[in-house]
Amino acid sequence: MVANASTAAERRKHFDPYMLAQAKQRKMANEARKKVLGLERREAIGDPVRGIPTPFLESFDNVGGSASLGKPINSSSDAVLNHFLKPAELERAIRQSHLLAEPVSNPIARDPVKEAEALKKHKEQHERAQEAVTRIVNLANASQKEKTRANVRRCIDTFGRHSTDQALRPRAPQNPELSEGKPALPEKTPRAGPDTGSSEVQISILTVKIRALANQIEEDGGGKDKINKRNLRVMVHKRQKLLRYLRAKERGGDRWRNLVEKLGLTEGTWTGEISL
């Protein structure tokens, strides 16, 4: 009898419009609450892909804006140029080309009018050539691949151990009492070049590539690019592993804080399961 009664009650429930409306209302309330809780959780732990906007992170999108088009670049500027050039090298090459192409006067039969015209023509040609070279090396006219390469070079110079060893304190020992009686470790082999393999540099390079790929996917038609979506997911999870390793190794030291604050990384980038 109980089974028949429950079956009859369930049967009446599916045909009762008042009970159906109540069930639909409860479902809508649960879905709305689920959405609100999801938004609160994402805001609390942060975006696992982009993190928090910072000046250094936003400069990745406008790396070519540091050099103005059509204007000469002096050696004292901190402009980021294309083709692995530095402002001092470009200025030295332009000055050398100006001296090499300068017209030579004839000491035997000098014509001041012709010499003035030649100098004026040389000056005009040099200004046009200088403007053309400046546009060629300017990252505002570069492709996304070249901009990413320039951002990677900036990350190596910013987070590499060859730059941060002089500014940041070394990691403190975990057990100072136990390390007092142990013999000192042998000195490490001096670094031959810039640091490109430390965890900080690898995390910053992955952040550059993740931001560029996320911007590309957000463009019109990018949502259908399944291959790049998978590549983005792979890079995000690889960065998560490196962040967990560096966090456990540095234990909240200066290197960890410097990396997290400059790149705008949040708890969502290294905690829990990331689903994109």
pLDDT in tens, 258-275: 999 999 998 888 887 777
Is 57 inside any structural domain?
yes
Domain containing 73 equals 68-137
Phi then psi dihedrals of residue 123, to 5 deg: -65, -45
Mean per-residue pLDDT, 23-36: 91
Residues 201 and 105 in one domain: no
Residues 111 and 231 in one domain: no
Task: State how far the Cα of 50 lies from the Cα of 264, in Å rounded to an integer.
Answer: 8
CA dihedral of 30, 35, 40, 41, whole degrees rounded to 10 = 90
Is 204 inside any structural domain?
yes
Residues 160 and 77 in one domain: no
Is 23 inside any structural domain?
no
Highest mean pLDDT: which range of 9-23, 94-108, 124-138: 124-138
Please spell the DSSP secondary structure of 209-235, one letter per residue: HHHHHHHHHHSTTGGG-HHHHHHHHHH
Which of 157, 150, 156, 160 lies closest to 80 in space, CA to CA?
150
Among 137, 159, 181, residue at a domain's last position = 137
Structure tokens at 109: 């039969």
Residues 92 and 154 in one domain: no
Is 110 inside any structural domain?
yes
CA dihedral of 73, 77, 82, 86, whole degrees rounded to 10 = 100
Structure tokens at 275: 């689903």
Provide the domain count of the chain.
2
Is 40 inside any structural domain?
no
Highest mean pLDDT: which range of 67-81, 97-111, 242-256: 242-256
Among 94, 117, 137, residue at a domain's last position = 137
Residues 105 and 133 in one domain: yes
Mean per-residue pLDDT, 224-235: 91
Which amino acid type is present at position 186? P
Q: Could you give the angle at which helices 112-137 and 87-100 cross, rounded to 10 degrees? A: 160
Residues 160 and 238 in one domain: yes
Look at residue 105 and tell me whether its pLDDT is greater than 70: yes
Task: State how far the Cα of 258 lies from the Cα of 262, in Å rounded to an integer.
Answer: 6
**What is the SS3 assignment for 147-196?**
HHHHHHHHHHHHHCHHHHCCCCCCCCCCCHHHHHCCCCCCCCCCCCCCCC
Residues 251 and 155 in one domain: yes
Is 126 inside any structural domain?
yes
Among 137, 157, 178, residue at a domain's last position = 137
Residues 161 and 73 in one domain: no
Look at residue 67 and tell me whether its pLDDT is greater than 60: no
The pLDDT mean for the chain works out to 83
Where do runs of H (alpha helix) occur along 46-86? 55-58
Which amino acid type is present at position 179? S
Residues 105 and 209 in one domain: no
Which of 258, 202, 266, 217 lies closest to 53 in space, CA to CA?
266
Cα distances (angstroms) measured from residue 189 to each of 94, 186, 195, 219, 249: 39, 9, 13, 47, 21
How sure is the predictor about 170, in pLDDT bands with cuts at 50, 70 and 90? confident
Highest mean pLDDT: which range of 27-41, 164-178, 196-210: 196-210
Residues 222 and 160 in one domain: yes
Is 190 inside any structural domain?
no
Structure tokens at 194: 């810039």
pTM exceeding 0.85: no
**What percent of the chain shows pLDDT beyond 90?**
36
Is 230 inside any structural domain?
yes
Residues 201 and 106 in one domain: no
Residues 117 and 148 in one domain: no
